[in-house]
């Protein structure tokens, strides 16, 4: 009894018992699992037969993954991969791309290893594979799950043709701070929107059938709460209440699991003091016991070895903690393959824990059909065919967000531009930058496939298009360095390159603008190096001297259209005050130029809506619409200093309004939409009717009319607020959306089913519940929707 009172020993026993409980798959516990293929009797029978034949070393080998190509972190070691594969000491490889390369290792595995277990090849396929689509944050701006499904479907087909059966996507981390560079890979700030898109990404990759020859196993990441990095600094800790964790950050991962995602990737961060890669609570209690996940969990690059930097133990200790917590595969950590066997033999790790990790991995391999069809047929080289381009262009068209389109004196609204022959000045370092228009995380994408904005406008205007780059994306020597760096290090020595003269280039751009009728400015940030992983920023303005360039061109008095090309919300306060038309174009991919031209000239009416709030100042971050209420809410004019105590002693900034510059859900059109008053078909609902069965208990309806002169698509958004909950709830939460296309004068009634899924919240005892309360309900075209109604839940 004395030993049991020792906290360290008690915790160790608790950890061991918990891990032992976790090895029983959900399907064997009598509960249904989200992915029926992984739970099928045939797959599990084959897994058990193979597992009985495997030595301990061969089993551990399945839990090891190495990179033999492009690196997204420091390499674990210089190993002979051919020998490892032949000995059955590696179960997966990443960054091996192409049928010839994957077949090389697969032949070794199938012909030289004792048990002929195929290698599972994985890759970051983030926004397309060879055909590069807009970045995920841009796809989220479409508010169109079908667009996400299309991107995933094309990516899966092309990846499988390259021998890749496993993609490290989708990333569904809730991102509420654009200082964090990986917001580019996310679906933005809202759990409802991100959950809808998570399901679509998984469906596109896996098609509900992993055995199809053009399906891939998806990998939802990064589990968990990676997007909540303190101060927006990548890899930093996350710290929050469990209510916030469950009600906001975990929802999109859960949606992906419910959609049948085959694998999950851990995150680099700690959550409330526990590193996520060794977090028993999230990986076992929530993921496997609550959500019934039966696939396998892989660490992020080197994350198991990096647990040593979290000060929770030496190499063998952190490997043991990660495995017992529920991390099944070690990506480039070089620990599972070197320190697990000895701990099994010494009794520190139960052999059953290793067996269950291997079961999970083998289930996915069998479900993918790799044992029956291990090789990839070598096909023709990839080309960006007209069909592929058309698909990429259509998706890109939907992602563009018209932030502003104010009338100009004597001209009216600048957009859409007239196709009549005018002299147009195209200015900015992003206008002809194929690499940065492609976007971050394009492992297999090729900048040569990109049609730049300069190329697309040149096709339309010929010699009536005037062009000036204006400045570099960065300033001075940083601009030269930007041209030479890669993930693998410096590609060339830029020390002797002349430093760009931005002053001279800005002067040339001003003269170019003066010669034109209108100036289109393409500004942003270098996506290839300053966005994505390890790309946090303390300042969110345009990089380098682009702001100076913008101000100089605006000062000419020529009408200016600003095209923003970036994978995160930037600080656009000066531009919003001085530029009449602003288009957020993100990182559009290979059809960047044609898609932007579609919007600028009205061939396509913009329909995108912001998935993330744009700040007035970086000091507002993290900024998001679903704020919690305070006891001293700020009201009235917050654009000036407070005039008395009533204005001062409230939750506000002294030098900036609280609100976003452009809020979540914002996006303009070339037409106008009007909303009727929303209605509910039942004003009161007894609480006992609101049960967790996915069935609605009330319907919210609203009439939406196109009052303009051109056809357009509106994203109709439903928001609610629980006004009398036992735990305070956000001032607004998105609970429904629909894309509705209307011709001029047309009216459509849009309906939203509302039930337990939309009304529930986590109570103080951490249970999903619906209580007797009242809900305010709004429907409109952004999170500022004014038209409202109400619903009462009664005893």
List residues with catalytic annotation.
300
| Structure tokens belonging to residue 788 | 């409202």
* Other CB atoms within 10 Å distance of the CB of residue 252: 29
Distance CA 610, CA 189 (A): 10
Closest CA to 623 of 569, 693, 586: 569
Distance CA 751, CA 680 (A): 10
DSSP H helices, 245-334, are 251-258, 280, 315-325
Q: How far apart, in Å, are the Cα atoms of 405 and each of 229, 384, 584?
A: 35, 34, 12
Distance CA 755, CA 370 (A): 42
If you search the block for the tokens 């029956």, which residue do you land on? 372
741 touches 713 (CB < 8 A) = yes
User: Beta strands of 137-284 (E only): which ranges?
Assistant: 166-167, 217-223, 263-266, 270-271, 274-275
760 touches 769 (CB < 8 A) = yes
Distance CA 610, CA 782 (A): 9
Q: 507-539 burial string, b = 16+ CB within 10 Å, else e?
A: ebbbebbeebebbbbbbbbbbbbbbbbebbbee
Radius of gyration of the chain (CA): 27
CA terminus-to-terminus distance, the chain: 49
Residues 6 or more apart whose CB falls under 8 angstroms from that of 732 comprise 625, 626, 719, 720, 721, 778, 783
355 touches 51 (CB < 8 A) = yes
Distance CA 271, CA 60 (A): 28
User: Beta strands of 325-447 (E only): which ranges?
Assistant: 330-331, 401-405, 407-408, 412-413, 424-427
If you search the block for the tokens 């970051």, which residue do you land on? 124
The SS3 call for residue 385 is coil
Closest CA to 92 of 351, 359, 277, 362: 362
| Structure tokens belonging to residue 775 | 């809900």
| Structure tokens belonging to residue 281 | 């609570």
215 touches 167 (CB < 8 A) = no
* Other CB atoms within 10 Å distance of the CB of residue 584: 28
């Amino acid at each position: 009894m004395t030993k049991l009172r020792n906290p360290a020993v008690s915790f160790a026993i608790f950890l061991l018992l918990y891990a032992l409980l976790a090895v029983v798959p959900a399907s064997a516990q009598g509960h249904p699992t989200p992915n029926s293929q992984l739970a099928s009797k045939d797959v599990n029978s084959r897994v058990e037969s193979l597992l009985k034949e495997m030595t301990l070393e061969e089993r551990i080998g399945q839990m090891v993954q190495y990179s033999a190509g492009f690196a997204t972190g420091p390499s674990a070691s210089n190993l002979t991969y051919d020998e490892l594969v032949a000995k059955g000491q590696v179960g997966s490889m990443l960054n091996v791309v192409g049928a010839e390369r994957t077949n090389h290792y697969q032949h070794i595995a199938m012909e030289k290893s004792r048990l002929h277990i195929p290698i599972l090849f994985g890759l970051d396929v983030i926004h397309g594979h060879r055909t590069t689509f807009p970045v995920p944050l841009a796809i989220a701006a479409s508010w169109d799950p079908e667009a996400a499904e299309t991107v995933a479907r094309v990516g899966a087909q092309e990846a499988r043709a390259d021998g890749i059966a496993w993609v490290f996507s989708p990333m569904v981390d809730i991102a509420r701070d654009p200082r964090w560079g990986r917001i580019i890979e996310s679906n933005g700030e809202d759990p409802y929107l991100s959950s809808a898109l998570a399901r679509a990404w998984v469906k596109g990759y896996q098609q509900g059938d992993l055995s199809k020859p053009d399906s891939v196993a998806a990998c939802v990441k990064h589990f968990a709460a990676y997007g909540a990095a303190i101060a927006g600094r990548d890899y930093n800790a996350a710290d929050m209440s469990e209510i916030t964790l469950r009600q906001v950050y975990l929802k999109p991962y859960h949606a992906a699991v419910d959609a049948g995602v085959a694998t999950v990737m851990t995150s680099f961060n700690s959550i409330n003091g526990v590193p996520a890669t060794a977090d028993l609570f999230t990986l076992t209690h929530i993921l496997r016991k609550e959500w019934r996940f039966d696939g396998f969990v892989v660490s992020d690059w080197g994350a198991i070895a990096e647990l040593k930097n979290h000060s929770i133990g030496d190499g063998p200790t952190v490997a043991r903690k990660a495995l017992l917590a529920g991390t099944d595969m070690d990506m480039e950590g070089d620990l599972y393959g070197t320190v697990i066997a000895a701990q099994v033999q010494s009794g520190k790790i139960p052999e059953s824990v290793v067996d269950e990790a291997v079961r999970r991995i083998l289930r996915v391999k069998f479900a993918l059909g790799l044992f029956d069809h291990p090789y990839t047929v070598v096909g023709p080289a990839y080309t960006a065919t007209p069909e592929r381009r058309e698909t990429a262009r259509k998706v890109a068209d939907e992602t563009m967000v018209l932030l502003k389109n104010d009338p100009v004196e004597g001209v009216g609204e600048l957009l859409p531009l007239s196709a009549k022959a005018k002299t147009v000045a195209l200015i900015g370092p992003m206008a002809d930058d194929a690499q940065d228009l492609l976007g971050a995380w394009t492992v297999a994408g090729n900048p040569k496939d990109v049609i730049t904005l300069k190329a697309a406008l040149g096709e339309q205007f010929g010699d009536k298009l005037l062009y000036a780059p204006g400045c570099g994306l960065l300033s001075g020597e940083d601009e030269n360095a930007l041209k030479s760096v890669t993930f693998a290090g410096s590609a060339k020595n830029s020390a002797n390159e002349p430093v760009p003269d931005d002053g001279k280039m800005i002067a040339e751009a001003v003269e170019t603008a003066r010669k034109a009728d209108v100036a289109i400015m393409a500004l942003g940030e270098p996506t290839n190096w300053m966005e994505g992983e390890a790309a946090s920023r303390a300042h969110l303005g345009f990089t380098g001297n682009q702001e100076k360039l913008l101000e100089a061109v605006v000062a000419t008095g020529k009408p200016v259209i600003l095209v923003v090309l970036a994978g995160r919300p930037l600080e656009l306060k000066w531009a919003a005050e001085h530029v009449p038309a602003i288009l957020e174009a993100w990182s559009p991919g290979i059809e960047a130029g044609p898609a932007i031209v579609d919007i600028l000239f009205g061939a396509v009416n913009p329909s995108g809506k912001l998935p993330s709030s744009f700040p007035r100042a970086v000091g507002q971050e993290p900024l998001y619409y679903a704020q919690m209420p305070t006891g001293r809410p700020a009201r009235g004019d917050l654009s000036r200093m407070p005039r008395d105590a009533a204005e001062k002693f409230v939750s506000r900034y002294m030098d900036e309004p609280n609100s976003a510059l452009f809020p979540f859900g914002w996006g303009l059109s070339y037409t106008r939409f009007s909303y009727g008053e929303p209605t509910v078909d039942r004003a009161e609902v007894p609480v006992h009717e609101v049960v967790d069965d996915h069935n609605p208990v009330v319907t919210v309806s609203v009439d939406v009319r196109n009052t303009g002169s051109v056809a357009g698509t509106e994203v109709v958004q439903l928001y609610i607020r629980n006004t009398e909950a036992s735990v305070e709830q956000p001032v607004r939460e998105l609970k429904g959306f629909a894309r509705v296309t209307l011709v001029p004068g047309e009216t459509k009634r849009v309906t939203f089913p509302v039930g337990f899924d939309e009304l529930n919240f986590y109570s103080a005892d951490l249970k999903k519940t619906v209580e007797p309360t009242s809900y305010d309900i709004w429907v409109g075209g952004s999170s500022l929707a004014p038209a409202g109604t109400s619903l009462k839940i009664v005893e």
